[in-house]
Amino acid sequence: MNELRDLLADVVADADAVSLFSPNAAAFERFEDADLPVVVVGPENAVDAEKFVELPIDFIDLEGRIRFGIEGALEKEFFEEGDEVVCVADFLGGVGNTVARIETSDFSPSGVYDLFVNSRAEPGVVRDVFEVAIELGKKGQKGKPVGALFVVGDAGKVMNKSRPLSYNPFEKSHVHVGDPIVNVMLKEFSRLDGAFVISDAGKIVSAYRYLEPSAEGVDIPKGLGARHMAGGAISRDTNATAIVLSESDGLVRAFKGGEIVLEIDPEEY
Ligand SMILES: Nc1ncnc2c1ncn2[C@@H]1O[C@H](COP(=O)(O)OP(=O)(O)OP(=O)(O)O)[C@@H](O)[C@H]1O
Ligand SMILES: [Mn+2]
């Protein structure tokens, strides 16, 4: 099939770099002597690659994974702006079955890499909160869909721009996201109104906060209500990241600088 070979040759012609997504050792070895930079993107650096971008969460959709990898590699200066990058990825259960050419000059960053790596809060904290939100979205609360709003990082300022709706069950405790017991507590309290406030280091500062940020200049998609507006606005008015689970459409969205930077369907996890 020369036609197919030609087609693939066009896709990879004059590439400036290669990016391997979730590679196995065999796939990586094939590129060992390549004269192009090879960037590995995955949950861990199993092949000991020199150029590596860590995936903080398991992006199920290929676009999410590729976006994160490209944004991370650009940020780490593994690629230069304008490079043409060939990505090799696993798709629909296949291994190394997908080749995509990305022109980084036409690529507008979604901010997803920034969300995890350059947030005020520690990357592991953002990831842990994301995971709680996804799990909550999957299971709901006793089978019923549930919504929740987590405000992560810059907690002092967030507290100043909010007020309590009820007594704070975390008042005197020193608990952190990621502890298994805390995940149970967060899920339990998510039935109640308001937002959770979490510090840069992952300490749960408060539950039941009613956020009162300035919403000026915040533009969220039509159809999303007060919870999302509050999340978007607090992420603009402070350096916090807001992670919002919608009770009505079941999606988890992350806001930074007033913008949605990531939207995930927990059912696909
Ligand atoms: N300013 C706020 N601060 C904290 N929590 C808020 C604020 N506004 C709304 N909420 C919480 O969000 C809940 C749902 O509100 P609303 O339905 O307007 O939001 P929404 O964006 O449509 O979210 P959902 O998709 O979950 O319905 C409220 O019951 C309340 O607990
Ligand atoms: Mn609503």
Per-residue pLDDT tens for 195-249?
A: 999 999 999 999 999 999 999 989 999 999 999 999 999 999 999 999 999 999 9
* pLDDT computed for residue 179 by the predictor: 87
CA distances from 120 to 152, 186, 213, 218 (A): 8, 21, 18, 20
* Ligand 2 center–CA 34 separation, angstroms: 52
Q: Residue 90: name the closest of 35, 42, 31, 50 by CA.
A: 42
Residue-wise pLDDT for 10-45, tens only, equals: 999 999 999 999 777 778 888 888 889 999 999 999
* pLDDT computed for residue 32 by the predictor: 82
Q: Which residue has the tokens 């992560």?
A: 152
For the sheet with 252-256, list strands across it. 162-164, 204-211, 195-198, 148-152, 241-245, 252-256, 259-264
Q: Is the CB of 193 under 6 A from ligand 1?
A: yes
* pTM assigned to the model: 0.86
Strand partners, 88: 20, 99
Mutate to test the pocket of ligand 1, among 227, 235, 247 (most ligand atoms within 8 A of CB): 227
Ligand nearest the Cα of residue 232 is: 1
* pLDDT computed for residue 180 by the predictor: 83
Q: Is the CB of 43 under 6 A from ligand 1?
A: no
At 114, list the tokens.
């920034």
Q: Range with the lowest mean pLDDT among 31-35, 49-53, 263-267?
A: 31-35
* pLDDT computed for residue 41 by the predictor: 95
Ligand nearest the Cα of residue 226 is: 1
Identify the band that residue 186 occupies on the pLDDT scale cut at 50, 70 and 90.
Answer: confident
Residue-wise pLDDT for 86-129, tens only, equals: 999 998 888 889 999 999 988 888 888 988 888 899 888 999 99
